[in-house]
Amino acid sequence: MNRLIQTAAAGVAGAALLASAACGSEAASEEPGAKAASPDSSADYEAVATVEGATLSTSEGDIEVTLFPKQAPTTVRNFVELAEGSKTANPTTGDDRFYDGTIFHRVIEDFMIQGGDPLGTGTGGPGYTFPDEIDPDLTFDAPGKLAMANSGPNTNGSQFFITTAPTRHLDGKHTIFGEVADDEGQQVAEAISAVDKDASDKPVEDVVLESVTIHRSDD
């Protein structure tokens, strides 16, 4: 199904970030038929306890993000393992580093940019889903939130989005697992949201996520 983020911003706003790789009204959802895993959050936290952040190197510049392993251990572990190639290979490229070479397939100015789909269509994912980790202290009260796209509750997979405006209508609907770390990175996200796009909000020229580098306190 289409993972899509619908924007409330566009008045369309209430549309949810639909995971079909979207993060709009409905967050991106994973592939149909995949069942949500039952993660052990304590084990997940141990696996990512030293993780501090990541560099998302894009064709438009780098976006430095801070990750939240304490608040969203399962989500952070999933992101880290996909990024570093220790979980599931990209089904399109065969690359162990799942995110390398994927595109931001949906971008909406004053709302968000969405990526993480190996198909680049809003319908792809890693072949599984996992439950939400909603922390009431983490809200979409400001730009720069890094969150999972989905197609409904507990349908997280690989698609994620970064907000470029406050989006409080998404509170409680998407797992926030990080945030943009500095103004420079936020400017890159905003520049990506403003590129020329087609009627489905897909950039006319691919905006590529070239690599994701994870940073740990013990590096």
Q: Which residues are catalytic?
A: 106, 111, 114, 150, 161, 170, 174
Nearest to 76 by CA among 111, 117, 46: 46
What is residue 18's DSSP assignment? Answer: E
CB 151 within 8 A of CB 20: yes
* Phi, psi dihedral angles at 9 (to 5 degrees): -55, -45
CB 72 within 8 A of CB 123: no
Calculate the CA dihedral of residues 73, 74, 80, 82 and round it to 10 degrees: 180
Nearest to 108 by CA among 214, 217, 202: 202
Helices (H), 58-173: 73-84
Nearest to 138 by CA among 189, 175, 166: 175
CB 150 within 8 A of CB 174: yes
Residue 136 buriedness (CB in 10 A; 0-12 / 13-18 / 19+): exposed
Give the other-Cβ count within 10 Å of 28's Cβ. 41
